[in-house]
Structure 1
């Protein structure tokens, strides 16, 4: 090997070492930046506590929803309410008929009482 070839090899090694240094520097800065933005163990612990609290609240809410669904299942449906309305209307019509008949009986008895009073005087 000649001196020129050795100088070229030394120069190529220097360039490769510099490029590797730059690559590792950027890699280090990238990892360091990610580590700075990542959560600490305390942050993770706080989040675990919050998740446990939310799970507890969700369980409570689920139980309440089940209770409401159970209560609603006993309520009448739209068709049942309509049937009740029809029956109430029939009862109201029947009562109106009874009221009219009762009024007619009352009027008849009053007129008969008036005729008896006039006949006795």
Structure 2
């Protein structure tokens, strides 16, 4: 089975990625069938530079090649509608609704404070 995915290139800290077609069972950095383009995230604008051959990408997808999630997102974002079906929808977790906390009466907490104050005043009178 063929897959369209990114293969990392470049030095440490200065990565760029080649968009390649390879056998799914092969390691990412090893032999690939065809290079379809590249992605350089380190360009001046900060958005990255993504160049690819749209016709060849569509040809491989229509012939049954799968697309990795990261490659599918970038391809769909840059005008390749065929790759849009490989983008997994992100499921947001339902937000927990917090039940209103019951207000605990503070009256029992005040009684020991008053008792301590009374004891202190009684000791002062005794002296």
Question: For this structure pair, what is the TM-score category when the shorter chain's length is used for normalisation?
Answer: 0.3 to 0.5
Question: By percentage of residues, which structure has more strand?
Answer: 2
Choose between structure 1 and 2 for higher RCO, CA contacts under 8 A separated by at least 6 residues: 2
Question: By percentage of residues, which structure has more helix?
Answer: 1
User: So what's the TM-score if we normalise by structure 1?
Assistant: 0.33
Higher Cα radius of gyration:
1
User: So what's the TM-score if we normalise by structure 2?
Assistant: 0.32
